[in-house]
């Protein structure tokens, strides 16, 4: 049994990473400032939750990160802790502390673990790219220029650069992954949480406006989680960074797929005309070369899985609607 140290594991992607690892019978250490398993509780029952080790931890505390990685005899690090676009915009200094210095601290801990560490993967983001109009018509591969338009995107770009230097200076291998708009249960915060919130609202018969339109790449959270785990375990050398292509479509088309699957949701979900400002037509050959098959749930199936979980939570009186008004 291997030991996985997951930072930011109480988050949306993290909860699904933990669920997948627990389902496989692995040892999981949750390292998060938040001790409340709010999202994990949606995915795991009490018995499964009891197999997870919870540590209240801050990636900004370098001593704590390193000492826990060493004390826990960690085999794999999956680094997801981070602040999203709105928080980085409101407080760039805090954003840099958590997203950049926090990532340095995780890399230092990985370095201290030396050859005992079998894999390190961290969350970058498609926000390292600029808007569609900055590029040509072809899918963007990992050699495309990075032209981020937010502090958040710049911080992610910086992490990719630091990962490259850790390999150059210390032969510390890592994989950075660039998700775009992850959707599914647990996605309740951040700009691209709109499509998931819209599904939740529709389940309870409420209307919802997604605050952007235009082209996006939709990625079902369980696929994203499995991709992070596969990259942590791929055991290749170098500082690799990969796009995740997902299902590329317009938000208007997403709404259409939802309405075809659930005719009773018709008219409840709208979107605005504001584009998100990140190119979505991304190539995924690099990721395929790294892990072989890329976990891919068809959009309709991902929407149905999401709606089913929301319906179950509603019937159990556990559907939290507080995110819909934020």
Ligand X SMILES: NC(=O)c1ccc[n+]([C@@H]2O[C@H](COP(=O)([O-])OP(=O)(O)OC[C@H]3O[C@@H](n4cnc5c(N)ncnc54)[C@H](O)[C@@H]3O)[C@@H](O)[C@H]2O)c1
- List residues near ligand X by CB under 6 A: 7-8, 10-14, 32-34, 57-60, 80-84, 98, 102, 123, 125, 179, 181-182, 189-190, 192
Distance between CA atoms of 218 and 23, rounded to whole angstroms? 25
Q: Which is nearer to ligand X, 93 or 264 (CB)?
A: 93
Least distance between ligand X and beta carbon 25 (Å): 23
Closest separation in Å from C-beta 155 to ligand X: 9
For residue 158, give both structure tokens. Answer: 């910086």
Least gap, CB of 94 to ligand X (angstroms): 9
Which residue's CB is nearer to ligand X, number 94 or number 301? 94
Q: Are 155 and 277 in contact (CB under 8 A)?
A: no
Q: Which residue number, 150 or 173, has a Cβ lying nearer to ligand X?
A: 150
Closest CB 156 distance from ligand X, rounded Å: 7
Residue 220 CA to residue 118 CA, distance in Å, equals 26
Give dist(CA 221, CA 232) in Å, integer. Answer: 17
d(CA 289, CA 267): 41
Nearer to ligand X, 264 or 326 (CB): 326
Name the minimum Å distance from CB 115 to ligand X.
Answer: 26
- Residue with smaller CB distance to ligand X, 173 or 280: 280
- Least separation, in Å, of the C-beta of 205 and ligand X? 26
Q: Are 106 and 165 in contact (CB under 8 A)?
A: no
User: Angle formed by the axes of helices 102-113 and 151-170, to 10°?
Assistant: 20
- For residue 194, the minimal CB distance to ligand X (Å) is 11
CB nearer to ligand X: give 14 or 277.
14
Q: Which is nearer to ligand X, 18 or 266 (CB)?
A: 18
Residue 76 is given by DSSP the state E
Question: What contacts 198, CB < 8 A, 6 or more positions away?
Answer: 208, 210, 255, 258, 268, 269
Q: How far is the CB of 61 from ligand X (least distance, A)?
A: 8
Contacts 24+ apart (CB under 8 A), 307-316: 307/199, 307/202, 307/203, 307/261, 307/262, 309/42, 309/185, 310/185, 310/199, 310/200, 310/203, 311/203, 313/42, 313/185, 314/203, 314/204
Rounded to 5°, angle at Cα 231 from 279 and 131: 5
Tell me the residue nearest to ligand X as measured from the CB.
11
Q: Which is nearer to ligand X, 14 or 185 (CB)?
A: 14
């Amino acid at each position: 049994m291997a030991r996985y140290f997951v930072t930011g594991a109480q988050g949306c992607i993290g909860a699904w990473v933990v669920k997948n690892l627990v389902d496989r019978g692995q040892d999981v250490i949750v390292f998060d400032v938040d001790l409340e398993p709010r999202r994990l509780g949606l995915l795991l029952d009490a018995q499964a939750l009891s197999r997870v080790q919870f540590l209240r931890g801050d990636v900004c505390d370098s001593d704590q990160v390193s000492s826990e990685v060493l004390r826990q005899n960690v085999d794999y690090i999956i680094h997801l802790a981070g602040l999203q676009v709105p928080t980085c915009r409101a407080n760039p200094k805090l954003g840099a502390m958590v997203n950049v210095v926090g990532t340095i601290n995780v890399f230092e801990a990985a370095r201290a673990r030396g050859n005992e560490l079998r894999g390190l993967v961290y969350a970058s983001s498609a926000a390292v790219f600029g808007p569609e109009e900055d590029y040509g018509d072809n899918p963007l591969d990992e050699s495309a220029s990075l032209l981020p338009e937010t502090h958040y995107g710049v911080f992610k770009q910086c992490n990719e650069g630091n990962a490259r230097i850790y390999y150059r200076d210390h032969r510390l291998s890592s994989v950075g992954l660039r998700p775009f708009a992850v959707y599914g249960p647990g996605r309740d915060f951040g700009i691209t949480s709109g499509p998931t919130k819209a599904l939740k609202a529709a389940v309870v018969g409420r209307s919802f406006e997604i605050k952007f339109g235009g082209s996006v790449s939709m990625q079902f959270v369980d696929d994203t989680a499995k991709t992070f785990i596969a990259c942590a375990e791929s055991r290749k050398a170098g500082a690799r960074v990969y796009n995740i292509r997902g299902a590329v479509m317009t938000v208007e088309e997403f709404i259409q797929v939802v309405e075809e699957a659930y005719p009773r949701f018709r008219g409840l979900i709208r979107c605005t005309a504001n584009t998100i400002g990140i190119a979505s037509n991304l190539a995924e050959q690099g990721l395929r070369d790294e892990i072989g098959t890329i976990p891919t749930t068809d959009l309709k199936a991902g929407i149905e899985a999401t709606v089913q979980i929301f319906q179950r939570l509603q019937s159990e009186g556990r559907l939290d609607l507080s995110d819909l008004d934020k």
